[in-house]
């Protein structure tokens, strides 16, 4: 039930492992930090990382009259999470989702979760342009979706794949809010003033070429990978990653 959700933002990438779940989690937490009521939906059926990233593994979701009740991370119910990971019995469970089952599952995730009124819903997706993505696009046609944020890394293989994602968004009519280049340099956690960050990688050049907004870079920062439920902008306020997350949220909030 997305009727009372004011803003919906999809997080997409061409290549896997480029940091979609990390970006989804940190954007959601940054928005919550700004006082918004936020939901985070993980539709990565084969590799749901959100429960781990938020340290919510093993949480149960239950069904009420109206549908699934998401997992709330605080008593104020300002941060709600739904992931296929909550429906798997153990860490070792694996589900083989085939075409129609996959489509039905994603559709159910989009229609049957009782989000209530939310300011923002961030949707973390699997990599590529597959059944899940088409199902999402179809189901979001009737609700207000702000658009997609694309994540890439600087490597050529990732840039080539995100280029396809841009074409997919244009063909399916999804507005592109912008592109983030993740793992675009290295921050040594042992240096206090690290200068080992390079700028203007392939992501920024591609954004210029494709005429889409470039939202910023996130360096490889081992601390970001270890936040596990904590908010980058709070825990590492002076880090380049915190500046990028704050900058993206500044842009989202005014648009």
Ligand X SMILES: Nc1ncnc2c1ncn2[C@@H]1O[C@H](COP(=O)(O)OP(=O)(O)OP(=O)(O)O)[C@@H](O)[C@H]1O
Burial per residue of 35-63, b for 16 or more beta-carbon CB atoms within 10 angstroms, e otherwise? ebbbbbbbbbbeebbbbbbbebbebebee
What sign for the dihedral angle of Cα 86, 221, 218, 13? negative
For residues 24-83, which are near ligand X according to CB under 6 A?
44, 47, 49
19 touches ligand X (CB under 6 A): yes
Give 15 or 37: the residue with its C-beta nearer to ligand X.
15
Count the alpha carbons within 13 Å of 198 in the hemisphere toward its beta carbon. Answer: 8
Helix and strand tally (H, E) in the chain? 9, 10
Residue 114 assigned ligand-binding role: no
Residue 49 assigned ligand-binding role: no
Give the pair of three-digit tokens for residue 55: 């340290």
Q: What angle do CA 242, 243, 249 make, to 5 degrees?
A: 90
Residue 5 assigned ligand-binding role: no
Residue 185 assigned ligand-binding role: no
For residues 95-134, which are near ligand X according to CB under 6 A?
127
Give 38 or 183: the residue with its C-beta nearer to ligand X.
183
18 touches ligand X (CB under 6 A): yes
DSSP one-letter code for 87: G
Distance CA 202, CA 59 (A): 39
Intra-chain end-to-end CA distance of the chain, in Å: 23
182 touches ligand X (CB under 6 A): yes
Contacts of 65 (CB under 8 A, 6+ apart): none
Give 85 or 127: the residue with its C-beta nearer to ligand X.
127
Give 37 or 216: the residue with its C-beta nearer to ligand X.
216
| Interface region with ligand X, contact rule CB under 6 A, candidates 11-19, 57-65, 76-84, 107-115 | 11-19
Among 42, 131, 204, 221, which residue interacts with ligand X (rule: CB under 6 A)?
A: 221
162 touches ligand X (CB under 6 A): no
180 touches ligand X (CB under 6 A): no
220 touches ligand X (CB under 6 A): yes
22 touches ligand X (CB under 6 A): yes
126 and 18 in contact (C-beta within 8 Å)? Answer: no
Nearest CA among 112, 110, 123, 96 for reference residue 7: 123
222 touches ligand X (CB under 6 A): yes
Other beta carbons within 10 angstroms of residue 72's beta carbon come to 14
Residue 90 assigned ligand-binding role: no
| Interface region with ligand X, contact rule CB under 6 A, candidates 30-38, 80-88, 140-148, 213-221 | 213-221
Give 71 or 180: the residue with its C-beta nearer to ligand X.
180
Q: Applying CB under 6 A, which residues contact ligand X?
A: 13, 16-22, 44, 47, 49, 127, 182-183, 218, 220-222, 224-225
The binding site for ATP consists of 14-21
The binding site for [4Fe-4S] cluster consists of 188, 191
């Amino acid at each position: 039930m997305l009727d009372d959700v004011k803003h919906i933002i999809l997080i997409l990438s061409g290549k896997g492992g480029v940091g979609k779940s990390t970006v989804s989690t940190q954007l959601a937490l940054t928005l919550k930090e700004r006082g918004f009521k936020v939901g985070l939906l993980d539709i990565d059926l084969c590799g749901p990382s959100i429960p781990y990233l938020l340290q919510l593994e093993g949480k149960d979701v239950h069904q009420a009259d109206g549908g699934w009740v998401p997992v709330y991370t605080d008593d104020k119910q300002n941060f709600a999470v739904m992931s296929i990971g909550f429906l798997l019995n153990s860490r070792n469970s694996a589900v083989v989702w085939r075409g129609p089952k996959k489509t039905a599952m994603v559709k159910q995730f989009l229609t049957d979760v009782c989000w209530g009124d939310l300011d923002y819903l961030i949707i973390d997706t699997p990599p590529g342009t597959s059944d899940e993505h088409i199902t999402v696009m179809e189901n979001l046609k009737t609700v207000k979706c702000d658009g997609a944020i694309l994540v890439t890394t600087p490597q050529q293989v990732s840039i080539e794949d995100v280029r396809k994602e841009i074409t997919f968004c244009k063909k399916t009519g999804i507005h592109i809010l912008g592109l983030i280049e993740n793992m675009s340099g290295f921050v040594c956690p042992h240096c206090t003033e690290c200068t080992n960050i390079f700028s203007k990688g392939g992501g920024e050049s591609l954004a210029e070429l494709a005429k889409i907004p470039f939202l910023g870079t996130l360096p490889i920062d081992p601390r970001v990978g270890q936040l596990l439920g904590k908010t980058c902008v709070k825990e590492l306020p002076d880090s380049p990653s915190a500046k990028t997350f704050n900058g993206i949220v500044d842009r989202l909030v005014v648009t």
